[in-house]
Amino acid sequence: MLFLTVAELEFCHLMFRDGFRPTPLFGVAMVWLCLIDAKFPSPALLRPGILLILLGSLTWQLWHRQGSPVADWALTVTSSLYIGLCGAYLIDLRDHLESGLWWTLTSVLAIVLADSGAYVFGRMWGKHKLAPTLSPGKTWEGYLAGILVAGVGTALLAQTFQVQSGMMLSVNMWHGLALGILIAILAPLGDLAVSMIKRQVGVKDSGRLFPGHGGALDRIDSVLWTAVIAYYYVRLFIF
Q: Let me know whether 69 and 123 are in one domain.
A: no
Q: End of a domain among 96, 131, 156?
A: 96
Burial 168-189 (b: 16+ CB within 10 A, else e): ebbbeeebbbbbbbbbbbebbe
Q: Let me know whether 108 and 193 are in one domain.
A: yes
pLDDT at site 152: 97
Q: End of a domain among 80, 96, 112?
A: 96
Name the nearest CA neighbour of 88 among 47, 44, 25, 30.
30
Q: Let me know whether 175 and 110 are in one domain.
A: yes
Mind listing the pLDDT tens digit of every residue in the chain (239 residues)? 999 999 999 999 999 999 999 999 999 999 999 999 999 988 888 999 999 999 999 999 998 878 899 999 999 999 999 999 999 999 999 999 988 999 999 999 999 999 999 999 999 998 899 988 888 889 999 999 999 999 999 999 999 988 887 666 788 899 999 999 999 999 999 999 999 999 999 998 898 888 777 899 999 999 999 999 999 999 999 87
CA 229, CA 59: separation in Å to the nearest integer?
35
Based on DSSP, count helices (H) and strands (E) in the chain, helices before strands. 9, 2
CA 227, CA 140: separation in Å to the nearest integer?
24
DSSP H helices, the chain, are 2-17, 24-39, 46-63, 69-95, 100-125, 140-165, 173-186, 188-201, 216-237
CA 50, CA 74: separation in Å to the nearest integer?
14
pLDDT at site 132: 87
8 A C-beta contact, residue 215 and residue 201: no
Phi, then psi, of 81 in degrees rounded to 5: -65, -40
pLDDT at site 166: 67
Q: Let me know whether 114 and 83 are in one domain.
A: no
Residues 6+ apart with CB under 8 A from 112: none
pTM: 0.93
8 A C-beta contact, residue 239 and residue 99: no
Q: Let me know whether 126 and 233 are in one domain.
A: yes
Domain limits at 196?
Answer: 98-239
Sign of CA dihedral 76, 81, 87, 88: positive
Q: Let me know whether 17 and 92 are in one domain.
A: yes
Q: Let me know whether 219 and 230 are in one domain.
A: yes
Per-residue pLDDT tens for 42-90?
888 899 999 999 999 999 999 887 889 999 999 999 999 999 999 999 9
Q: Let me know whether 152 and 202 are in one domain.
A: yes
8 A C-beta contact, residue 152 and residue 177: yes
pLDDT at site 133: 86
Q: Let me know whether 164 and 151 are in one domain.
A: yes
The DSSP bridge partners found for residue 210 are 214
Total domains, the chain: 2
Q: Let me know whether 82 and 136 are in one domain.
A: no
Q: What Rg, from alpha-carbon coordinates, does the chain have?
A: 19
**Strand, helix or coil for residue 45:** coil
Q: Let me know whether 134 and 210 are in one domain.
A: yes
Q: End of a domain among 58, 79, 96?
A: 96
Phi, then psi, of 119 in degrees rounded to 5: -65, -50
Q: Let me know whether 22 and 53 are in one domain.
A: yes
Per-residue pLDDT tens for 124-139?
998 899 988 888 889 9
8 A C-beta contact, residue 203 and residue 8: no
